[in-house]
Amino acid sequence: MKYFFPLHFDGDNRGCEGIAKGTASIIGASKNDLIGYSRNVELDSRLGISDYISLIPQHPVTVIDKIQKKIEGILNPEFSRTDLYFKYQYRKFLKQITTNDIMISTGGDMMCYGNNMVNVTNNFLHERGVRTVLWGCSMGEQNYTPEKHETLRNFSLIYARESLSYNFFKNLGLKNVVCLPDPAFVLEPQVTALPSFFGDNEVIGINISPYILKGNNMCSTFGKELKSLLDFIFNETKLYVLLIPHVLWHGQDDRETASVIENMYRKTNRISILDSTNLNYQQIRFIISKCKFFIGGRTHAVISAYSTCIPTIALGYSIKSKGIAKDLELNEKLIVNATAQNSKLNLLNSFTYLMDDYQNIKDTLFSIMPTYKLSTFLIKDYISKL
């Protein structure tokens, strides 16, 4: 039996790397039996993903492919853009999967967006009698579509990574649902060199994405919130700020956001950007683990902080952030809706709470985390029964 990962994408989203490595560690199969479909095999190999799973390069889209897709779209107007993309990018990979195998549909929050490749890949394999697992996922009522409901019924197993999504799935009448932590929780930090200012200073790690900063606009609602927080940190504390990019994909590059923030506060001499380009997921986790506080927008950056018991504020905008924090028994003040249009000092207020309740938060994480992480491995029992 082999396990196939068609929606791995690539490690320039370090969360995809974390999911791939964590999943391989949990399943415990030989890498020859773990097959990932990669958009960038060279990068994934450099990050060490190829030590965990076998990588098959995505078929590059040629000019001829684009022309054929255009013609087919005209001749078959009922075909969606997703259907055509599937035909030219995924079908060949999926056709090698047999009824002896299992498809692991990763991506975490892909069901929080519009109808996409989760639907198409799962429905294709379901029709062929292949067992499929929606792996470490989140989804809420605001993400519901009839098409998603259909594909949810077609999964052999749905592994929700937090209880709010689990309850949503159960309320839909789905029977094939379990709730366990995100697979990336099981990974250990990998020791790497720390930025020099860690030696004598307390550091707050901050991860901000272009999405929550609205195109890197510091004049946006959240931009003003962030500025109030940073002004407070530089004027009222002695903390150093380390900006930690976690997704480096074109159009979603956290490094661009970090550069905007760093330029605004460079004169403080207490802010810098981590060179995440040359660090893998577990090395970034190690650096996060040495921070006193963490504030993060990317879910798998926040998971690195939680898993190493660092008091953290999650910049949540969907069910996943609320659900994970709830399951870790963390106060709602530690989740800030970064997309709210009418917030006023919510982030700063949450940070003062984080400082004031620091030890209680840390103690809570230390108490819960060992058992919480270990429970992730229970997914193997559910897979064995498919």
The answer to whether residue 290 is domain-embedded is yes
**Domain check: are 342 and 251 in the same one?**
yes
**Domain check: are 215 and 166 in the same one?**
no
The answer to whether residue 344 is domain-embedded is yes
Tokens of 83: 């259907």
Count Cβ atoms within 10 A of the Cβ of residue 240 and give its class: 0-12 exposed, 13-18 middle, 19 or more buried: buried
3-class DSSP assignment, residue 254: helix
Contact 253, 210 (CB under 8 A): yes
Q: Walk along the chain (386 residues) in steps of 10 and give the mean pLDDT of each run.
A: 97 98 98 98 98 92 68 63 71 94 92 86 96 97 93 97 98 97 99 95 98 89 95 98 98 97 98 98 99 98 99 91 97 92 83 98 98 98 97
**Domain check: are 84 and 102 in the same one?**
yes
Question: What angle, 0 to 180 degrees and rounded to 10, lies between the N-to-C axes of helices 81-89 and 117-127?
Answer: 60
Task: Provide the residue type at 269 as one letter.
Answer: N
Tokens of 79: 């075909």
Q: How far apart are CA 334 and CA 317, in angstroms?
A: 13
Q: How far apart are CA 38 and CA 118, in angstroms?
A: 16
**Domain check: are 344 and 275 in the same one?**
yes
Q: What is the sign, positive or negative, of the torsion defined by CA atoms of 19, 21, 24, 30?
A: positive
The answer to whether residue 52 is domain-embedded is yes
Tokens of 336: 């800030």
Q: How far apart are CA 364 and CA 191, in angstroms?
A: 25
Report pLDDT for 73. 64
Domain CATH number, residue 330:
3.40.50.2000
**Domain check: are 111 and 244 in the same one?**
no
Report pLDDT for 82. 65
The answer to whether residue 190 is domain-embedded is no
Contact 137, 158 (CB under 8 A): yes
Backbone φ and ψ of 94, nearest 5°: -70, -30
3-class DSSP assignment, residue 285: helix
Name beta bridge partners: 57: 38
| Contacting residues for 91 by C-beta, under 8 A, at least 6 apart | 124
The answer to whether residue 86 is domain-embedded is yes
**Domain check: are 173 and 259 in the same one?**
no
Report pLDDT for 115. 82
Report pLDDT for 320. 94
- Long-range Cβ pairs for the range 327-331 (8 Å, 24+): 327/162, 327/163, 327/181, 327/372, 328/364, 328/365, 328/368, 328/372, 329/364, 329/368, 330/361, 330/364, 331/357, 331/361
Tokens of 328: 């870790």
The answer to whether residue 248 is domain-embedded is yes
DSSP secondary structure string for all residues of 157-179:
EEEESSHHHHHHHHHTT--SEEE
**Domain check: are 220 and 243 in the same one?**
yes
**Domain check: are 147 and 215 in the same one?**
no
**Domain check: are 177 and 238 in the same one?**
no
Q: How many domains are contained in the chain? A: 2
Domain CATH number, residue 150:
3.40.50
Report pLDDT for 49. 98
**Domain check: are 90 and 129 in the same one?**
yes
Residue 253: C-alpha distances to residues 109, 209, 226, 260 (Å): 18, 7, 18, 12
**Domain check: are 211 and 307 in the same one?**
yes
**Domain check: are 326 and 238 in the same one?**
yes
Its domain, for residue 235, covers 196-373
Q: What is the sign, positive or negative, of the torsion defined by CA atoms of 326, 176, 3, 143?
A: negative
Contact 211, 223 (CB under 8 A): no
The answer to whether residue 94 is domain-embedded is yes
Tokens of 120: 């198409």
The answer to whether residue 191 is domain-embedded is no
